[in-house]
Amino acid sequence: MVQHISSDIAVIGAGVVGLAIAESLVAEGLEVLLIDPNPPGSGASYGNAGTIADYAVLPVGTPAVLRNLPALLFNRNSPLAIRPGAFLSLAPWLARFARQSLPGAAARNGQAITALLSDARDLWHELAARIGGLDLIEQQGCLYLYETEKALRGAEADMAHRRSLGVEVELISSRDLAHLEPGLPDLPGAAFFPGASFLSDPGAMLHRLAQSALQYAGLLTAEVQTLTRQFDGIILDGVSADETSFRVHAKRVIIAAGAHSRPFAKMAGDDVPLDTERGYHLEWDMDQPRLNRPACPTARGFYLCPMTGRLRAAGTVELGGLTAPPSQHRLDRLLQGARAIFPDLPEPSAAWMGFRPSMPDSLPVIGPSTQGPEVIHAFGHGHIGLTLAPITARIVTDLVQGRPPERDIAAFRPGRF
């Protein structure tokens, strides 16, 4: 027996992007059905560093990364590495990534990210106010930590580039860093982004966002298996959590399934070069998490995040697909890096791995399918999915309502490759 459901709009994916889209659409009186096999907000949206990273204007692929790419990818201890055995399947993606790391492409990608990130902080505060989450936003800024004088000097050009793109940042001395973060060891200095905000509990914020959206949107806990176009909309077939087959008929479908989006995009007619970064975190339960703001030891590629009742170490990039189990080696490296900053940390209270969608140019895919506007793409946000959720929601809502988006989204079109 097949359960038949109809909705004006079906959103595939109930992570932070899908939830923000649903919240925005129902606010305009539209009928929305969210579909996800897992509880809302339980994937990468839950496990991230909690930073509203409007300062993250540079793509992952840059000329500097390109020069060091082989050493980075094939060093198991690198902040950017390939899971053993995954190189052949990743080769086409890596070739595109290398091309996007050339000077001209990297500069264009940085400009596109900068334009997309504008107003990210304000839009997050507006969203938090609507869903009763302002108490979960901290406005203490963010730090990039440098563990050697050479690294601190080398950061000058990077920060000058960010300033040229409108980012507010200052390089601070060891003394100033100690004033901001007396719990840190003696380090040469840091880059301080004073206007940055962060979430003290991403999971709690996602819970409030889900509660707000689901006051008016429907939720189907299920796995979509096929997406088919027909004359009067889109048909989604799949199996729900209780193993019941279902068929959803929707006038519009939004693909916002993060790292799981590529097959749906292909069914809609768009072959998008999306791959997967496996991100990790460790947590230590503690009443006072030792920091006042997120701090990233840049050479180690993760954030130390002060969250409610715990300290979280979140980050590193491991390219390697959706099926392999977590890498104990990556978790061990994360623990080693955290203890390089706080040597007395005990064994972690919790460990986690999640899947981050990764595009070769670090630009998300946002906009109508090349095969027709009945399908709208909203995925591939990489390291800044949390940051870009309200922005993406506004763009998608404008597209659904037939309004021109406030931002130029040509750089994010699904057919750009």
361 inside domain: yes
- Phi-psi label, residue 301: left if phi above 0, alpha if psi -120 to 50, beta otherwise: left
Integer Cα distance of 149 and 203 in angstroms: 37
Cβ contact 266:377 at 8 Å? no
Which residue segment(s) compose the domain that 247 sits in? 2-65+110-141+195-412
Contacts of 260 (CB under 8 A, 6+ apart): 13, 322, 355
Integer Cα distance of 114 and 58 in angstroms: 8
13 inside domain: yes
355 inside domain: yes
184 inside domain: no
Cβ contact 44:416 at 8 Å? no
Q: Is the dihedral of CA 216, 220, 224, 227 positive or negative?
A: negative
Integer Cα distance of 195 and 358 in angstroms: 26
Contacts of 66 (CB under 8 A, 6+ apart): 98, 101, 102
Using 50 as the pLDDT threshold, list the residues of the chain that sit under it.
Answer: none
- Taking residue 66's Cβ as centre, other Cβ atoms within 10 Å add up to 18
* pLDDT value at residue 73: 64
- Taking residue 25's Cβ as centre, other Cβ atoms within 10 Å add up to 25
72 inside domain: no
DSSP H or E run through 276: strand 275-285
Number of H helices, E strands in the chain: 13, 19
Q: How many domains does the structure of the chain reveal? A: 1
Q: Is the dihedral of CA 377, 381, 386, 390 positive or negative?
A: negative
Is the pTM for the entire model greater than 0.85? yes
* pLDDT value at residue 132: 97
Integer Cα distance of 391 and 310 in angstroms: 29
Cβ contact 303:296 at 8 Å? yes
Contacts of 59 (CB under 8 A, 6+ apart): 100, 101, 106, 109, 110, 113, 361, 362, 363
188 inside domain: no
82 inside domain: no
* pLDDT value at residue 78: 67
- Taking residue 15's Cβ as centre, other Cβ atoms within 10 Å add up to 29
DSSP H or E run through 350: strand 350-358
180 inside domain: no
Q: Which CATH number goes with the domain that contains 344?
A: 3.50.50.60
User: Which residue matches tokens 């506007």?
Assistant: 373
Cβ contact 152:189 at 8 Å? yes
**Structure tokens belonging to residue 133:** 């989450």
Contacts of 393 (CB under 8 A, 6+ apart): 17, 20, 21, 23, 24, 25, 127
DSSP string, 54-108: TT--S-S--HHHHHTHHHHHT-TTSSEEE-TT-HHHHHHHHHHHHHHTSHHHHHH
